[in-house]
């Protein structure tokens, strides 16, 4: 066993004083959820053995199974209260000059058309196609400032930063893949969305349209069914609501279903359960293998850790893992943002392009930017 694992430095537990955003340093790990904040520093050994007392594994898993994960057992871990329960310091929009912004809308719409053609031939029910938006700054990007801006815009969301070795995965996701607390498990899959509007009447129409959309309800049911099927072997009780609810974020309306269960035993950790569910049809498609292969063919970039997982699991097996969406990857002066949309029969290239633009607004809004026309 690695010597760092043989003589672990016990995690620092500070539940009464939240680590907030000031605890995070670039190269570390930060994870804020509605249940609390976990910040880690002094990365230790890679995960290679069962966790010892007081240890926590943190990090990120990629979209594809053939890409190495970034999981470590940090030497120092701070825990704190949820961000929405504490007074966050006023944070200005990250400064600096942005020199360039590039994306490929034509490649994206062509990919959607090709996916629809293949669906018409049978064998593929859904595929999630994404596009990238590349931004270049005049100076190195301050990851801490960006993280603070994202957290300030949505203190109730899942805000995260994970070191990838030479770059940082950072974002604020609305989607909980798996939370385990003792024998209790929760998954909150999202699929089907509409943009928010600053006009109240239009915002209400968007929400009502989403909740009654056969296309979106069908897409959502595919995801919920896959999550339920994935959890069923581990659970002696499983509750799957018959109808989704609306989940609002600052920029989007989502169809949301909260699936809850009780484990048969506690041998399956939060990380075990999360990897059993990943990837769901919300970020890949149906059937999964065919959709993942098509994504590799049609997307002109490597997803890396986008639509992967970010989270933590402790030595008791408890933990939280979220789907890495509404995120980007920072490396020196560059920031690559990602946004995707589920393509199903009835989709149109124009609608899916508009959906990805709406999803980009989560991150761009935190930077004080808009997508270039």
- List the catalytic residue out of 126, 320, 352, 359: 126
Helix, strand, coil share (%) of the chain residues, nearest 5: 30, 30, 40
> Could you give the dihedral angle defined by the CA atoms of residues 216, 222, 223 and 225, in that order, rounded to the nearest 10 degrees?
140
Residues 6+ apart with CB under 8 A from 297: none
- Partner residues linked to 78 by β-bridges: 39
Instruction: Give the separation between CA 334 and CA 147, rounded to whole angstroms.
Output: 15
Q: Closest Cα to residue 327, out of 305, 312, 311?
A: 305
Known catalytic residue at 175:
yes
Q: Which of 26, 42, 52, 175 is catalytic?
A: 175
**Residue 219: exposure state from Cβ atoms within 10 A (0-12, 13-18, ≥19):** buried
Catalytic site includes residue 237: no
End-to-end Cα, the chain, rounded Å: 54
Neighbours of 184 (CB within 10 A): 13
Count other C-beta atoms under 10 Å from residue 24's C-beta.
Answer: 24
d(CA 159, CA 60): 13
Q: Which residues contact 18 (CB under 8 A, 6 or more apart)?
A: 37, 80, 81, 83, 86
Q: Which residue has the tokens 């009835």?
A: 346
Cα angle 59, 64, 69; round to 5: 25
Q: Please state, in angstroms and rounded to a whole number, the distance separating the CA atoms of residues 239 and 185.
A: 10
What one-character DSSP code corresponds to residue 46?
A: B
d(CA 135, CA 99): 8
The residues annotated with a catalytic role in the active site are 126, 175
């Amino acid at each position: 066993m690695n010597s760092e694992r043989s003589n672990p430095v016990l995690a620092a537990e500070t539940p009464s004083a939240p680590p907030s955003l000031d605890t995070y340093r670039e190269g570390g790990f930060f994870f804020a959820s509605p249940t609390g904040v976990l910040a880690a520093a002094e990365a230790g050994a890679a995960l290679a053995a069962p966790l010892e007392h007081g240890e926590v594994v943190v990090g990120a898993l990629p979209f594809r199974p053939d890409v190495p994960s970034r999981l470590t057992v940090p030497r120092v871990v701070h825990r704190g209260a949820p961000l929405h329960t504490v007074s966050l310091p006023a944070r200005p929009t990250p400064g600096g000059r942005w020199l360039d912004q590039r994306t490929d809308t034509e490649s994206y719409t062509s990919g959607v058309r090709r996916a629809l053609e293949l669906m018409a031939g049978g064998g593929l029910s859904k595929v999630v196609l994404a596009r990238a938006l590349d931004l270049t700054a005049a100076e190195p990007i301050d990851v801490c400032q960006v993280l603070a801006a994202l957290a300030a815009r949505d203190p109730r969301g899942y805000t995260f930063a994970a070191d990838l070795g030479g770059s940082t995965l950072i974002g604020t996701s609305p989607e909980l893949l798996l939370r385990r607390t003792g024998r209790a498990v929760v998954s909150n899959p999202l699929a089907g969305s509409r943009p928010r509007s600053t006009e109240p009447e239009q915002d209400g129409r968007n929400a009502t349209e989403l909740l009654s959309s056969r296309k979106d309800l069908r897409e959502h049911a595919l995801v919920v069914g896959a999550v339920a099927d994935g959890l069923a072997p581990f659970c002696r009780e499983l509750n799957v609501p018959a109808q989704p609810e609306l989940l609002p974020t600052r920029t989007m309306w989502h169809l949301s279903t909260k699936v809850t269960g009780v484990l048969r035993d506690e041998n399956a950790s939060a990380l075990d359960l999360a990897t059993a569910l990943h990837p769901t049809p919300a970020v890949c498609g149906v059937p999964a293998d065919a959709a993942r292969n098509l994504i590799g063919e049609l997307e002109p970039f490597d997803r890396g850790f986008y639509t992967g997982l970010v989270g933590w699991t402790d030595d008791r097996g408890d933990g939280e893992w979220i789907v890495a969406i509404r995120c980007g990857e920072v490396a020196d002066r560059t920031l690559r943002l990602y946004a995707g949309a589920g393509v199903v029969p009835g989709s149109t290239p124009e609608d899916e392009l508009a959906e990805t633009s709406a999803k980009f607004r989560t991150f761009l809004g935190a930077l004080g930017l808009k997508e270039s026309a």
